[in-house]
Structure 1
């Protein structure tokens, strides 16, 4: 696990930022068109549920992903609702070593998050 990898809510609370990605991975993503489902397979944002047993079964919020400077940014299609809770997860340790595997559709090991952020807008 890369201890530098972390998620943060942007200063204006409109986007989620994935920090700590290796430069070669970011450069690779800048040159490729990546499907939303592929993005969601390693970095996704979800609505929080009151029932913690259902947390792992939430559907990812739809949005746009883009590489900006040294981070990956998620902007939801529908703005985060004020006073509502959400969580974001980054799943793939493979992402840190082989970014091409994600684009080639190779299996990502497990769904255990390596970074998680819970937040309220």
Structure 2
């Protein structure tokens, strides 16, 4: 009977050590959002959005102002201090195959530079990811993609 107790204690001890020592790779913990230009350069596409977030978008209809609070495209400026004060471009947001795409109302100008931002990078993290990495905020509250449209 004594050996049986020690055996169970030993197994529990090994399981505790194994569970404490296993670390998850940070790239496995969060889906890295990706912003890119479509193949024909007419739309900006936000991809790698977690399924639970896409489900929320599909259930609710967002007005234009709410979309720009999440994902917006701007004309770039040479004054770096003024970038944060630019007005978002007008356009249409669509959800297709787990991606969000933005198509501007007017055609991209090949003489202009643009940038797109997704502002809720840290909000897309699951609570268990925050606990696992022991980091509440990642650097920067948004991801950014700079581009120049091709003709």
Give the shorter-chain TM-score range: 0.7 to 0.9
Task: Please report the TM-score for the alignment, with normalisation by the length of structure 2.
Answer: 0.65
Gap regions ≥5 residues in structure 2: 1-28, 127-139
Work out whether residues 50 and 124 of structure 2, in 8 Å CA contact, stay in contact via their aligned partners in 1.
Answer: no
Structure 2 partner of 1:30: 58
Gap regions ≥5 residues in structure 1: 98-111
Task: Please report the TM-score for the alignment, with normalisation by the length of structure 1.
Answer: 0.80
After superposition, give the CA deviation of every residue in 1:62-115 in whole Å (9 maximum; x if it has no partner): 111111102111111111112310000001122455xxxxxxxxxxxxxx5431
Shift >6 Å, 4+ stretches: none
Which of structures 1 and 2 has the bigger CA Rg? 2
Aligned residues: 109
Task: Report 1 or 2 for greater relative contact order, CA contacts < 8 Å, sequence distance ≥ 6.
Answer: 1
Which protein is richer in helix relative to its size?
Answer: 2
Greater mean alpha carbon deviation, residues 1-10 or residues 45-54: 1-10
TM-align CA RMSD:
2.1
Greater mean alpha carbon deviation, residues 2-11 or residues 44-53: 2-11
Which protein is richer in strand relative to its size?
Answer: 1
